[in-house]
Amino acid sequence: MPIQGKNFIGYSLSAQNTDNFQSYVPAQHTYLPEKFHPATPREVENAMQLAERAFEEFALLPASRRADFLVAITEEITALGDQLLERAQQETGLPMGRLQGERGRTVNQLLHFASIIREGSWVEASIDTADPDRAPLPKPDLRKMMIPIGPIVVFGSSNFPYAFSVAGVDTAPALAAGNPVIVKAHPAHPGVSDLTAQAVVKAARRTGMPEGVFSMLYDNGYEVGATLVKHPVTKAVGFTGSYRGGMALYKMAMEREEPIPVFAEMGSVNPVVILPETLERKASELAKSLAGSITLGAGQFCTNPGLIMTVQSPSLDNFQEQLLAEMAQIAPATMLTQGICQNYHKLRDEALQQDGVEVVYKYESDAEGNNQAQATIARVEGQVFIDNPRLQEEVFGPFSLLIVCKDMEELEAAFQKLKGQLTTSLMADADEAARYPKLLRLMGSRAGRFIMNGVPTGVEVNASMHHGGPFPATTDSRFTSVGRHAILRFVRPQSFQDWDEKLLPDELKSHNPLGIWRLVNNEWTKEAI
């Protein structure tokens, strides 16, 4: 049963609330029996006030205590076992293998941030000691580090029920940094959200975290989310979803009396460029890897390769034939929600109706009514693509547009039309790539992650990953939602000038009680001053 009260606003089984909603089962086009209720204004206010009070205590806890909390969350998630996996499969239609892998990634993300905050260098401690004898003016003692900013509102995403949801890529670093989190659960998987939230609450209680360090609220519309973004207690927002949704939240945040950052990951078509010599040498290999990437997870990845760009060549027909043969071997998959499936087919059909667009592959099936995605490949000439901005927009699902340019100059002109992307991918060896420096500059300028000889799907969680990109892929290209540096979204630098040693945070004390790396008088050291 869901937990009511401390740390977590759960759901009610009251049938009297006409706004109650149920879990949709996309593979069966039916609903599960439990009823979830959108949070009331009183529940929203209660969660925000609890978070505000919790911040005063939580931000001051030693990093080791917060790390224990994160580890405890992983233990509680793991303890849910098959119950969590089976509920996710019901609510999303995703295969069990994918869900097992995503659960493992979610656990590893939490452990990753627990390790980071225990090690300590993420606070970027910097110390410049005083020099009272410096002329013409004495030099003050200045010490700087990253500090948490306050309650963070996190919007769960539809396409990752674990890794980008209740205890995912926004919640984990926000808690690690010392910020309370208020999650607005995604209505596409409320049962999974409920189970995960219970795990977080149990972990909070086990490790003695302050009341209000975590809350979760439901809504099957937009009112609760808007209230959370506008609430004066909120200090930042994490969001993964559509361009329309992300920009709506961003505008709300900018119109507040105190504007706050919205770290929104929105849309991306993730163009893949294949240079001609590589197309000739690796047509079969490229066709297989791209077909798998286009259809992975029914195309419901933010890094799905929506554009394949190349030039006319004798090898092109062979590549296209092999790509379509590979696509034909992949069965259709269930999409996450009825709305996502309907929107996919709507946007795909709009793209196919554009002048000059030729359908070269479409999976024909009578199962579309059961939220099965019809994978589709279309083809268009480079100049048509250049002249039609509609073809440069994302179609969220297993769809890719093959853009055939007459030469490399036209390909570069076509690429220049593209806006910011999470990824760009170049299929070429080093010698061939080196002959097109302008193309390399263009591709790099559009991308958060620039890939060579690989497909964009698959996001490694480590310090060198940047999962972000220039607008409109995200609202702030300087930050990543994945990997070590994701924590920097939810902190700010603060300098301490001429403070008494006893009052300084441990990270900035001269004797270095935490044994972390610090920049002391322009030299990195783990030693005491």
Let me know if 405 is a catalytic residue.
Answer: no
What does the alpha-carbon distance between residue 168 and residue 166 come to, in Å, rounded to a whole number?
Answer: 6
Let me know if 341 is a catalytic residue.
Answer: no
- State whether residue 161 is helix, strand or coil: coil
Sign of CA dihedral 137, 141, 146, 147: negative
Task: For residue 470, give the nearest of 417, 419, 420, 424 by alpha carbon.
Answer: 420
- State whether residue 523 is helix, strand or coil: strand
- Residue pair 379/352 in contact by the 8 Å Cβ criterion: no
- Residue pair 420/473 in contact by the 8 Å Cβ criterion: yes
Per the structure block, which two tokens stand in for 367? 């199962």
Q: Which residues pair with 379 in a beta bridge?
A: 358, 402
Sign of CA dihedral 37, 40, 42, 47: positive
Longest dimension (CA), the chain: 84
Task: For residue 507, give the nearest of 208, 148, 44, 261 by alpha carbon.
Answer: 148
Catalytic residue, from 302, 326, 381, 507: name it. Answer: 302
The amino acid at 143: R
Burial of 17 (C-beta count, 10 Å sphere; 0-12/13-18/19+) = middle
Residue with tokens 């606070």: 123
Task: For residue 483, give the nearest of 105, 72, 112, 103 by alpha carbon.
Answer: 112
Phi, psi of 377 (to 5 degrees): -120, 130
Catalytic residue, from 76, 265, 394, 507: name it. Answer: 265
- Residue pair 87/165 in contact by the 8 Å Cβ criterion: no
Q: What is the DSSP letter of 490?
A: G
178: left (phi over 0), alpha (psi -120 to 50) or beta: left
- Residue pair 249/154 in contact by the 8 Å Cβ criterion: no
Task: For residue 173, give the nearest of 527, 504, 513, 482 by alpha carbon.
Answer: 482
What does the alpha-carbon distance between residue 261 and residue 264 come to, in Å, rounded to a whole number?
Answer: 9
- Residue pair 510/493 in contact by the 8 Å Cβ criterion: no
H or E segment and range at residue 67:
helix 63-79
What does the alpha-carbon distance between residue 9 and residue 442 come to, in Å, rounded to a whole number?
Answer: 47
- Residue pair 23/209 in contact by the 8 Å Cβ criterion: no
Give the end-to-end CA distance of the chain in Å, rounded to a whole number.
54
State the CB neighbour count (10 A cutoff) for residue 62: 12
What does the alpha-carbon distance between residue 193 and residue 371 come to, in Å, rounded to a whole number?
Answer: 22
Active site members: 265, 302
